[in-house]
Amino acid sequence: MSRIAYVNGQYVQHSEAGIHIEDRGYQFADGVYEVCEIARGNIMDMTRHLDRLNRSLSELKIAWPMARKALQTVIKEVVRRNRVHDGLVYLQVTRGVARRDHVFPSADTPPAVVITAKRTSPAAAAVRAAKGIKVITVPENRWERVDIKSIGLLPNVLARQQAKDLGAQEAWFIDSDGIVKEGAATNAWIVTKDGVLVTRPAEYGILRGITRTTIFDVAKKLGLKIEERGFSVDEAKKAKEVFMTAASTVVMPIVAIDGESVANGHPGTTTLSLREAFFDIAEKTPSC
């Protein structure tokens, strides 16, 4: 079955979808995005994703491309047309198409919106989770407003490629004090010897991940304590467990950091329990 994309008011064949060469997302990375997991026919945590979209748009002074309820309808329709039962739906909004100029175009320039959906394999994800993944560390080199989910992701791309070149699957950005910030596309967590979950505060310096936020609900349900504080690479290497969270990976165990094994080099029970409980606790919006 051919894929369908939504582009500026039209449902089109994915293979034929395109944007104008003067779309500001293409020329300036002047836009934001969201990625929602689709699991068992449900779009996960849609309310929180759209709340964060609203914040990102507001921070960059980009207007909504349509009413929120209408956008929800279009997202669900894209998922339905692509018959995605398990996968990801991608939403991107830019400041629109205008003659190239660094300053904002006129206020009547309509934002541009693109929505796509694709299938993923829960079985393959389960295999990765059972084995765990490896991360490397890289110095922080991004702009300070990483709390905005901007499409300007070149440092993230380079970091993830460096990880791949070294046989790892993710890269952690490390600040000037040696403290872990976040992954190229994920939030970072550790589990202490006492079983406490630790993640860096999201007030500044990292993206407030939606899966990260929902893990607070999951942890409460499981009776687990969370501390929001920074942790060093060395503390992570000595932790009982390490994991990452994102819509694309949910909860994924990390078993090695810069080539050094975490604990016994296998996924931990706390991490796996969080992953198992996530679907039951996260908000679920039927995709059709």
Q: Which residues are identified as catalytic?
A: 149
Q: Residue 1 in contact with residue 16, Cβ under 8 Å?
A: no
**Amino acid at site 239:** A
Q: Distance (Å, rounded) from C-alpha 200 to C-alpha 190?
A: 10
Question: Which residues lie closer than 8 Å to 194 by C-beta, 6 or more apart?
Answer: none
Using CA atoms in the order 148, 150, 155, 160, what is the torsion angle rounded to 10 degrees? 100
Angle separating helix axes 210-222 and 46-60, nearest 10 degrees: 140
Encode burial over 108-144: b for 16+ CB neighbours within 10 A, e otherwise.
eeebbbbbbbeeeeeeebeeebeebbbbbbbebebee
Q: Rounded to an integer, what distance in angstroms lies between the CA atom of residue 211 and that of residue 195? A: 20
Q: How far apart are CA 200 and CA 187, in angstroms?
A: 9
